[in-house]
Structures are given as structure tokens and as C-alpha cells.
Structure 1
Amino acid sequence: MISRFFIIPVIIAIGLSVTVLFMNFEEIAETKLAGVDADKDKISDRVDNCPKIKNEDQDDFDQDAVGNPCDPDDDNDGIVDVLDVFDDNPEEWSDFDFDGIGSKEDPDDDNDGVIDSMDEAPVPVSEELVATYLENIQECAKMNDGTSRLLCYSKFFGKVAEDQENNSNALELSIALSKIGLIDDCHFVSHEVGHVAFKENPSVIENLIGMDGTMCRGGYFHGVLAAYFHDVQEDGDPFPSDYNTVCNDLIGTSNYQDCVHGLGHGMVHYFEEDLESSLQMCQDMSFYQDVLCTGGVMMQYTDNVLTRQGISKNVISNLCLQSELDIVDFVECNVSTGITLAFFTDHDFEEGSKLCELIENKQGQNYCLEGLRFEIQDSEKFKAEPLTLDKREKYQPQFVEGGSKVIDIQSPAIISNFQFEPKARLISFVIDRPQYVAMYIPNEFLSSKMIVAVNGQIPDELEVKGNVLGERVSMIRFVPDDSGLVMISPLS
């Protein structure tokens, strides 16, 4: 093999004679490399088994000359470390009941109290699906770019939803992968499951009834509603005049608010970049419905723009212009930008903050950081202790004056026997347990001074605010000591 030489000679003068030496290219490169330490771990890159990531102890579990921090499969068992719960044990990799015992050693794989040898269905559905789609999952996991990886998983979960008869199976898989840390949050990918569900059965309510809205924080619901409005738009049909009743079969359940929030996602699919039209449809609903709906609009809008146009200083600074939005929508838009950026950065606050700081408007920047922080905290809370249906807040709007006006009520408790006497301005209802109650009441239904009593007693924890968010709506929030009769009446 012919060695290459530098064309520039090294000249050494000795007395009056001059000696010209030529240095071998590979020798010079090796000499330079010997002094390079890119990851600053005090080990030369020439001998470092992981030159770009610190590995001071040169740990290499499988002895393949690739240090553990740089090795995507530490134990060489064919399962990438991000999926492998036991990445230093080639005999185990899965633990889908999350009890710390690998599936091969675990006598009760699904933790249902029945040992596997006597269990008719011993393996969790999430474990079965991972085994079925292992190659697809690992293909997405190996992607370095967060946005590309998220889109890969979205497409993958669409395929799972198509293959599975029960949409809950796809959601169970997304929750499991979220707990492992393979996907940073299952909310976004569950949108795709909802899209596919509606495509296969184009009925909003049939797809939502019986589903648990706590799974992936309502993402499936948002996907179903988005697909519904997308189809209406694709068919060239006018915007549905009964859009505000689409979710009515879910009134009184915690899933109702997920459905109303999903309406906002769907409106953006219908009106596309016409943000004003989407917001107007939300504003034509009751106060709290508007709040939920607007949140959905802004989440879908910010996601659409950042996905299509990319994240740059120009794009993100013009996403939520204060000159074009009222103060409430300006705040919500920037908060939603932060929420969207959380998904684009694997819920990494430091990385998301850098993107929020691209926003030129300082107020917008702060609201973006607020949304980013909220989304990360909410995601972590969900992973640690998901809300069950019995603990989750239920949105229970009460329609008065023939349905033209609404008193919005939120509470984990069940509201029954609601009565409103317009002339006496008297509101009464029964709660089935002592849980907080939050109400948004049009000011025209209230006197200037009201008294709130539960079983004749004024609650110790009582808060009243007038003209919430600048609207002619008052908020009353209280925490009762017991279940029973609630009465809100003018103070005589």
C-alpha cells in the first residue's frame, strides 16, 4: 500500500546544511489525535471507548469495545437499551407490570394475583403488542431527532390501532412505553389512535362512550373529534350547526370536558389556518366550554404551524401576535406553544426553554415557559399516579332558560336535582360527597350579594370572583364539609 505524504516539507536547519523531512499523513493524524479529548473525561479519543460522551471508568458491559453510554444495546441481547428495562442482563428485558421483576422470572406477569401457570391471560396486552411490533418500535427508538421520533411513533400507533379490534389495546401500549420512557408522553400519539378509530367507525359518540378519558390525558378523544371535523371539511360540507351538542351524551362524566376540548382540535382541522373562525365557534359556547374549547384550538394550531413550518425565531415569534389576539387568547396561545414545545423536545425543560426564549415578545416568552413547565409537571404527575375516573373532575353544565344560558359546574362529586328560580335568583342542587365545587355563573343570574350554604352551613373554604377573565361571569368555589343540599341565594 502506498502511503500518502504531506506536500509541505518540514525543514530542519543544522549549521549551513538544510535537511528536508517528509512526515507520513497517518502518523501526524495519530499524533494530533493522541492529545484530543472531546468529552473531557481525561481519556484520549485515540483510546476512549466512548469519545463523545463521558465514560471515565470506560464501562463496557458486553465487552464489544463500545462504552456503555455510547452503546445502544449494552448487554447485546438484541433489545435497544431505551426499551430494555434490564440493560445489563442479557436474559431479561421486559417488565410490563412494573414490579421490578423481569417477565421470565416473574411468576405473575400481569400482577393480578393469579400465578401465570393458572392464569388464562397471564401476559399484559402491552407486553404481547411489544413482542408483535418489536421491530417497528425499535426502528422509531433509534431515531435521534425528537420530532422525527415522535412522528414515527404516531404513524406506528396508527398501524396498531388499525390492527387491533379494541382501541384500548393501542392506548395500553402507549401508556406502557411512556412509563418505560421510550416515548416521553402518550398524549400526542394517542391522537393518532383516535384518528384511526373514527376512520374505521365514523361516529363520534360510539367511539367515545365506554372509553376511559384518563388514558393519555384525553388524547384519544381529541383525535376522534379532529378526525370528525377533518372529514366534514374534506367532504365540502358546511360547519355543523349542532357542533355544540356533539358531546352531550357525555354530560355528567369526566370525559365530557375531554370531548369539548377535542372540539377545539377539530375546529382547527376544519378552518385550518383561519384561527379567528375557530375561536369564534368556541366563544359562542358557555364560559367554561369556551375555555376548554379554546385550549384545544390553540394546542392544535401551534402544533400545526410548528410541524409544517419548523421552529425558528421568525416562526415562533409570529405564532401568537399580541396585536391580533385579545389578551385571553394571547395568553392561551403562548401557553399552548409551551405545551407543544414540550412534546417536540421530549419534555426536556432546558431544551424547551431555549425555544420559548426565541419569542421576541417578553410576555409571550414568559407564558410559553409557563405552558412548558405545566405540561412537564402534568405529564410526570400522570406517570406517577394517573387519575382514576372516580377522582377526576366531572364537568356538569346546567342548561337554563330553555338551553340558551348555561351555569357551568365542575366537581369530582355528582351533581343532582339542580334547580334555578330566575325571579328569586335561587340556585339549588345536591352533591353526593364532600368534594370541591367550582361554578361559573352568568352575572344576570346573581344578586350583588349572595350567600352560599351546604346543609344550611356556610363552608369554611369559600371563594367568589366577579367578571372572570373580563367576562360577565362570576366564579364561586367552595369545599363542603359533607354531602347534601347546596343553596345559593340573595343575601337579604
Structure 2
Amino acid sequence: MIISKFFIIPIVIAIGLSVTFLLLNFDDVSNAKPAGFDGDRDGVVDSLDNCPRNTNSDQTDFDSDKLGDECDIDDDNDGIFDSLDQFDTDPTDWADFDFDGIGSFKDTDDDNDGILDVDDSDPLPISEKLATKYLQDLRVCADMDDGTLRLVCYSEFFGKIAENQENNSDALELSIALSKIGLIDDCHFVSHEVGHVAFNENPDVIENLIGMDGTMCRGGYFHGVIAAYFHDVQEDGAQFPSDYDSMCNDLIGSSNYQDCVHGLGHGMVHYFDDDLDSSLKLCHDMSFYQNRLCVRGVMMQYTDNVLTRQGITSDVINNLCSKSKLNTIDYAECSMSIGGTLAFFTNHDFKQGTKLCELIENKQDQNYCIDGLKGEIQDSEKYETDSLTLDKREKFQPQFVKGTSKVIDIQSPAIISNFQFVHEIGLISFEIDRPQYVVMYVPNEFVTSKMVVTVDGQIPDELDAKGNVLGEDISMIRFVPDNSGLVMMTPLPE
């Protein structure tokens, strides 16, 4: 081997002696490779290959800079790196933040508001303004190879945006746009940081949540706000709030209520940290569906904390969930949350995430992990394409049974009103304002083995019931009515 360059570096050590080191630069080697060497095996020898480390047999080089497109981070030499450039072979355009397929340079209505740019006092979407303003910050994060460090970088970046912008939704709009482009794999994680900043600036949970769209980044902002609240309670040395189970009540009847209750789980882990038992106990004291939402939030935050602090190793991942300390359902939720968390650490890459799940030795737990990974990826993809309007989004509408501490949990896009439970005859009734599916979780003491369900006097064609859901003393009743009106659940004689 012939070394083409070396460097002489004099170093003065503490006692004043000058010592000279000969530092060889092994990266700069001439004639080190045999003639005809083809490192990437694409049929083009390295001496002629414009991307010797990337397979590119066609040798395309759009901007003719002698750097092939496969390894050129800016194919059209417009100063915008390709991961952000939506038109990377058009040097006149890079942005399309209204996602209509037309670049800003050619688009006559950049924000798709129906007002032509020439007549629009504010023609650009806020996401495009912010992406342009913070290009260099975005590039720093995008260029990081390590998935964990990249996530941390983006979280800090979006925290900075939230601090600088008067409206927190501006940061969320940017995160959504960048997730659609693919610059960030999913905006849920980074929106946690936006929520943290929002609460630090205005320490009132509900004020930060009311008026926000809980579906933005799948509730991540909500989780961040609530987590920040509990973090502050813990930092102040205060007792855990006794009214935690009613914190979200102002959002009952909206789709945001579910995200708020789920966020409680995240907040509990911020308060109790590694004391998983205390967080889970508080979840279990809530109603059936609230409990499941809360536990899911607990496990998401817990698995993320551990994997972030300790790293993803076989030992860590096999001991993350304790079968001896958790009940069967919580253990399965914990194992699935490992997969969900791994999705964020691997840019939602199913193949890479599966390899990490396979570090788990127990086959059933490994399958739980893969199910959680798959579910998170599917939710992320669905979010990118889902355009449900507010009236079609599922609303969580718990009904409190008078004279008891029991709750009947109801989920439906329809609005539930005039709920009644008549103890004397065991009748459950309420009204729905449109023919949308209804899912109910009813304590078994309020149902009998034979009940008739009618909507406006008609038995729904689609009707399903299941007792002892997840081993709990709860029955699930689901039906899809053909019309709106009065719902009646009437017990029949045994």
C-alpha cells in the first residue's frame, strides 16, 4: 500500500517538550484498490463511477457536477437538499406546501385558499414560510445518520419553532408538512415537544387544548401539554392531583377527549418515572375504556423513556416488560408498545423494526412487538391520507350512571344526548343525531343475557355483543343503525 499523504503534527505536552507525531491519512490512498475494482457492484468500476458507494449503473447526473444523483444530496444544485426539495430535478422550484403538485414558482395560489397570490396579502402557507426561514436547522437534523439523535434534533428544533411562533399550531402545521414530504418519518413524536413549550408558556392544560385539533399529529401535542403539567407537579414536589380523572372533562363529547385521556398516561410516567405500578394503578381506577387509553399512554411513554436512556440492546429489550409484575393485558400492551416505540426509532421502517423486535427471545412477546410496530406504521400511513371531517370523527362520550360510581363508555361519530338508565327495569336509553356506528362498554351489572336493541323502533341489521371484554366484567355492544333517533336497550325476561 502506498500512502499518498501524511501530516506532521507537533504537539506540546504539559512539561514543555515538543513531540512530533506522524499522522497517516488512510482515507486518502492512491492505487490502494486493484484496477477494475467495483465496490458497489453496479457494473461501473470505481475509477469511473460517479457514485462508487451507491449502486447507480445508469450513472445519471442531472446537474452535471460529476456527482451521481444516487449520492448527490442536491440533484438540481438549487441550494435545497433533496430530502426537502419536492422538485429535485427542477432548479426553479422546490416547495409545494399546499400539496397540489405545482411548485411555488409556478403556482398562482400557493396556499390553495381560492385567492390568487397577486391578490393575496398572505399568499404562502405558514409551513413554507417556516421551512424557508429554518432551512439550515432542518438540514442539520436531516443529515444525522443515527435515528435516536435525529429524533432528538427534530424535537429540539420544533421546540424552538414553538417558542418563536405566537401560534402553536404553526409548528404543528410545519411538522405535518415535513412528515408528508418524508423529511421526518412521523410528526407525533416531535409534536410532544411543541406541547411541552406551549404549557411552559401558559401553564393551563385545558386552555392549551381547547380550540386545537387533536387529530393533528395523532394527539402528540395533547400528550406533550399534559406530560409537561405532570412534570411540573413532580418538580414542585406536590402530591399527585386527586382530580386527575376529571382533568379532561371539558372535552367530553369531542374527538379530543380520547387524546386527552391517553395523554394522562404519558403525564403519569413523567410524574412517577420508573414506578410503573403507581401509574397503572391510577389508570385502573378509571372506567374501562378510559383505562385502556390511559394504559396505552403509560406504556408508550415508559418504553420510550427506557429505550432512549438505555439504548436498544438485547438485554434492555428483553427486560423492558415484566411478566411477573404486570397483569396479562398490561403485559401485552407493554410488549406492543415496544414495537410502537421502535417504529419511531427506525423511521417507521417495518423491516428494520422487525429485526429489533426479533431480539426478544419469547416468540409470543416478539409477535406482540411486531404487532405494535405494524399498528404504529399503519396508523401513521392512515393519518397521512385520512381526511375525516369533524362530524365524522369518533367522539368519546362517557355516560355517568346516576346513584353509582359506574360509567358506560360510548364511542361514536354521532352525538349522544338524553342518556338515561332506569334501574327498576334495567332500561338504557339515549338519542343519536345521525346514523353512525355506536360502540358501548357497559358494566355487566347493567346488562342481562337477553336484551333487545332498537333505534327509532327498528332493530339494527349490524349488531354485535361480547361479554367479559379482555377478561373484565364489561360487555361490549356495537351496532350500526339505519337511521337516527331514540336508542333503547331493553332486557327480556330470562
Normalised by the length of structure 2, the TM-score is 0.93
Number of equivalenced pairs = 471
State the partner residue of 1:115. Answer: 116
* Equivalent residue, structure 2, for 1:453: 454
**In structure 1, the residue corresponding to 2:67 is in which secondary structure?**
coil
Hey, what does 1:239 align to over in structure 2? Answer: 240
Q: Is the 8 A contact 1:214 1:389 kept in 2?
A: no
Query: Which residue does the alignment assign to 2:270?
Result: 269
The equivalent residue for 2:481 is: 480
Query: How far 1:302 moved relative to its partner?
Result: 0.5
| Distance across 2 between alignment mates of 1:339 and 1:181 | 19
User: 2:412 maps to what in 1?
Assistant: 411
- Distance in 1 between residues matched to 2:432 and 2:169, nearest whole Å: 31
Residue by residue, what CA displacement relative to the aligned partner does 1:297-347 show, whole Å, maximum 9, x if unpaired?
000000000000000000001111222211101110111111111110000
Three-state SS of the structure 1 residue aligned to 2:92 is coil
Residue 61 (1) aligns with residue 62 (2) = yes
Residue type of the alignment partner of 2:110: D
CA deviation after TM superposition for structure 1 residue 65, in Å = 1.7
Query: Residues 31 and 450 (structure 1 numbering): CA distance in 2 closer, same or farther, change over 3 Å?
Result: same
**Residue by residue, what CA displacement relative to the aligned partner does 1:119-150 show, whole Å, maximum 9, x if unpaired?**
12211111111111111111111112221111
Q: Does residue 425 of structure 2 align to residue 429 of structure 1?
A: no
Question: Aligned pair 1:252/2:263, yes or no?
Answer: no
Cα–Cα, structure 1 residues 65 and 163, in superposed 2: closer, same or farther, change >3 Å? same
1:343-382 equivalence runs, <5 A:
343-382=344-383
Residues 239-262 of structure 1: per-residue CA shift (max 9 Å, x gap): 110000100000000000000000
Between 62-71 and 221-230, the greater mean CA deviation after superposition: 62-71
Whole-angstrom CA distance in 2 between matches of 1:43 and 1:144? 27
Query: What is the deviation of 1:31?
Result: 6.9
**Matched residues in 2 for 1:34 and 1:380: separation?**
47
In structure 1, give the amino acid aligned to 2:178.
Answer: L
Q: Which amino acid aligns with 2:466?
A: K
Match of 2:93 in 1: 92
- Measure, in 2, the Cα distance between the counterparts of 1:39 and 1:420: 71
Whole-angstrom CA distance in 2 between matches of 1:46 and 1:353? 37
Distance 1:30 1:269 in 2: 57
Name the SS for the 2:308 alignment partner.
Answer: helix
Contact 1:222–1:262 at 8 Å: present in 2 too? Answer: yes
Matches within 5 A, 1:201-220: 201-220=202-221
Q: Post-superposition shift, 1:36?
A: 2.5
* Alignment CA distance shift 1:403-1:163 (3 Å): farther
For the structure 1 residues 339 and 117, does the alpha-carbon distance in structure 2 shift closer, same or farther, using more than 3 Å as the test?
same
Is the 1:33–1:45 Cα contact (8 Å) retained in structure 2? no
Indicate whether 1:81 and 2:92 are aligned. Answer: no
Q: What one-letter code is carried by the residue in structure 2 that aligns with 1:232?
A: V
Matched with 1:12 is none
RMSD in angstroms over aligned alpha carbons?
Answer: 1.7
Deviations 1:15-66 (A, max 9, x none): xxxxxxxxxx99x962733242221101112221111110101111112221
Q: Report the equivalent of 1:181.
A: 182
Q: Which residue of 2 aligns with 1:167?
A: 168
Q: Is the 8 A contact 1:214 1:388 kept in 2?
A: no
- CA 176–2 in structure 1, closer or farther in 2 if over 3 Å, else same: closer
Question: Aligned partner of 2:442: which letter?
Answer: I
Question: Which digits, 9 at most, give the CA deviation of each residue in 1:147-188, with x for residues without a partner?
Answer: 111111100000000011111111001001111110011010
Match of 2:396 in 1: 395
User: Once structures 1 and 2 are overlaid, which stretch shifts more, 135-144 or 193-202?
Assistant: 135-144
Q: How does 1:278-297 map to 2 (within 5 A)?
A: 278-297=279-298
Task: Give the superposition deviation at 1:2.
Answer: 11
1:403 is displaced (CA, Å) by 5.8
Answer whether contact 2:196 2:225 (CA < 8 A) is retained: yes
User: For residue 144 of structure 1, what is the aligned residue in structure 2?
Assistant: 145
Q: Which runs of 5+ in 1 are unaligned?
A: 5-24
Q: In 2, Cα distance between the equivalents of 1:422 and 1:170?
A: 50
Return the TM-score normalized by structure 1.
0.93
**Contact persistence 2:3–2:30 (CA under 8 A):** no
Q: 1:33 to 1:390 in 2, by over 3 A?
A: farther
- Letter of the 2:491 partner, please give it: P
Separation of aligned partners in 2, 1:40 and 1:97? 40
Mark the CA change 1:316 to 1:104 in structure 2 (over 3 Å): closer, same or farther: same
SS of structure 2 residue aligned to 1:32: coil
Shift of 1:401: 3.1
Q: CA deviation at 1:378?
A: 1.2
Using the alignment, how far apart are the partners of 1:31 and 1:270 within structure 2?
Answer: 58
Fraction of identical pairs, as percent:
71
CA distance in 2, matches of 1:3, 1:273: 55
Instruction: Supply the distance in 1 between the matched residues of 2:3 and 2:144 (Cα, whole angstroms).
Output: 39
Contact 1:392 1:412 in 2 (8 A): yes
1:20 aligned partner: none
**Whole-angstrom CA distance in 1 between matches of 2:232 and 2:197:** 12
Q: Distance in 2 between matches of 1:324 and 1:389?
A: 40
More deviation in 127-136 or 231-240? 127-136
Shift >3 Å, 4+ stretches: 1-4
